[in-house]
Amino acid sequence: MTGWETALAILGLAVITVLTRSFFLIPERELPMPAWLREALRYAPLAALCAVVAPEIVLTQGQLIHTWQDARLYAAAAGAAWFWWRRGILGTIVCGTTVMLTLRLGLGW
């Protein structure tokens, strides 16, 4: 791509982003939304997070892991246990990362 094509692509993407996001900002009053849709949208961030994280835990190069000696499994379990016990995000991250690094560096998993 030339410089002009790149600039045009970036400008086009910026316009599309502003346009799609401004639909929620332009109206003067709140758009009517059915209660069932509002309730369903409460779970959208959790569903998106699960859709991103779960494959990273159980897949390697598009294939299911075939051994229990994978640090990701134990790190995810330790992080989940920490969150269930303390309900803290920072502790969950630190706990999962500590377990993963310990298993990878200590045992070579």
Please report the pLDDT score of residue 93 as a whole number: 96
Q: Domain count of the chain?
A: 1
Domain residues for the domain of 73 are 68-109
pLDDT confidence of residue 71: 95
Total Cβ atoms within 10 A of residue 96 = 22
Asked whether residue 57 is assigned to any structural domain, the reply reads no
The answer to whether residue 80 sits within a structural domain is: yes
**Residue 76, in any domain of the structure:** yes
Q: What is the pLDDT of residue 94?
A: 97
Average pLDDT, the chain: 93
Domain for residue 60, yes or no? no
pLDDT of amino acid 23: 80
Is the sign of the CA dihedral 86, 88, 94, 98 positive or negative? positive
**DSSP code, position 31:** P
CA dist., res. 11 & res. 22, Å (int): 16
- Is 108 within the bounds of a domain? yes
Tokens of 73: 């499994």
Per-residue pLDDT of the chain (109 residues; tens, 9 = 90+): 799 999 999 999 999 999 988 887 777 888 788 999 999 999 999 999 999 999 999 999 999 999 999 999 999 999 999 999 999 999 999 999 999 999 999 999 8
